[in-house]
Structure 1
Amino acid sequence: MRKILLVLSVLLSFNVVATNADEKIIIQDIMRQQESAWNEGNLESFMQAYWQSEQLKFVGKNGIKYGWQATLDNYKKTYHDKAAMGELKFDILSVEVQSDSAFVLGKWSLKRKTDNPSGFYTLLWKKIDGKWKIVIDHSS
């Protein structure tokens, strides 16, 4: 009986590891889609990775913005045209998945004609209605 329980436990742990690996790939794919949308100058598509809720939190150098629309409006104000947006690159340093939430740590960089700003980000993702969404973004 103990051997059966041990085998079941090992099999279940492999399933959890495989599932977490699959979820990491999904999140990384969403972030690649964000890069593409940004680099096409499409902020609305870029924002589809974010939770469309007033509870969304975006933390940047100017403090905390609450809500999806406020975050989009802030992006539009700061990155008013393609030249200001430049070319975005995400370097994902780690993705940690825990059931229906994930924590992503990485570096962002923009390549523009006049400069090349960069910084770091931490993202808290939640699985909402079966889809991964960013619920907290802290970018600096």
Structure 2
Amino acid sequence: MRFVLSFILLMAPLAMLRAQQPQSAISALLAKQTAAWNAGNLEEFMSTYWQSDSLIFIGKRGPTYGWQATLDNYKRSYPDTTAMGKLNFNILEMKPLATGLYFIVGKWHLQRSIGDLEGHFTLLIKQIGGSWKIIADHSS
């Protein structure tokens, strides 16, 4: 009995650490996005998305399918750093749905000299080939 109790007590911190690792990696992914956006680098911003025709981005104009089409939409909507402004995320929820799959709810804010924008987003982030990638994004 002592052995079982000792084993449980030793393994609990490891289980908590493993649960935090994906959350830390996802937070780093979102920080990478923010830094790339704020540097005016849309290609680097898009490196956090799944480079696949199966990527889905849903915005105010409806769904866009595919990585390249999503990048093209960003380039049309934000043609320069004035339009892009400075991005800030506020994560409201980060929930595991399955091993290697997370659901994120957050708020975004663009501080811009031409007028601020803000809204909310939901993301599905999946571990693919050892990297975390956004596979679905609904931003409004």
Query: Could you tell me the TM-score, scaled by structure 1's length?
Result: 0.91
Structure 2 Cα separation of the partners of residues 61 and 76 of structure 1: 16
Say yes or no: does 1:84 pair with 2:83.
Answer: yes
Residue aligning to 2:20: 21
Structure 2 Cα separation of the partners of residues 35 and 48 of structure 1: 12
Change (3 A) 1:105 1:10: farther
Say yes or no: does 1:117 pair with 2:113.
Answer: no
Structure 1 Cα separation of the partners of residues 106 and 91 of structure 2: 4
Identity %: 45
Unaligned runs of 5+ in 2: none
Residue aligning to 1:43: 42
Structure 1 Cα separation of the partners of residues 32 and 10 of structure 2: 33
Change (3 A) 1:4 1:36: same
Indicate conservation of the 8 Å contact 2:82/2:114, yes or no: no
Stretch moving more, 94-103 or 18-27: 94-103
Change (3 A) 1:41 1:7: same
Q: Give the superposition deviation at 1:57.
A: 0.5
Query: Could you tell me the TM-score, scaled by structure 2's length?
Result: 0.91
Structure 2 Cα separation of the partners of residues 10 and 75 of structure 1: 49
RMSD: 1.6
Stretch moving more, 93-102 or 22-31: 93-102
Letter in 2 for 1:27: I
Stretch moving more, 24-33 or 40-49: 24-33
Letter in 1 for 2:93: S
Letter in 1 for 2:76: K
Deviations 1:13-61 (A, max 9, x none): 5433211212111111111111110011000000011000000010111
Residue aligning to 1:33: 32
Change (3 A) 1:67 1:9: farther
Residue aligning to 1:61: 60
Say yes or no: does 1:52 pair with 2:51.
Answer: yes
Give the count of matched residue pairs: 139
Residue aligning to 2:134: 134
Deviations 1:64-116 (A, max 9, x none): 00000000000000001110000000111121234211111100000001211
Stretch moving more, 91-100 or 65-74: 91-100
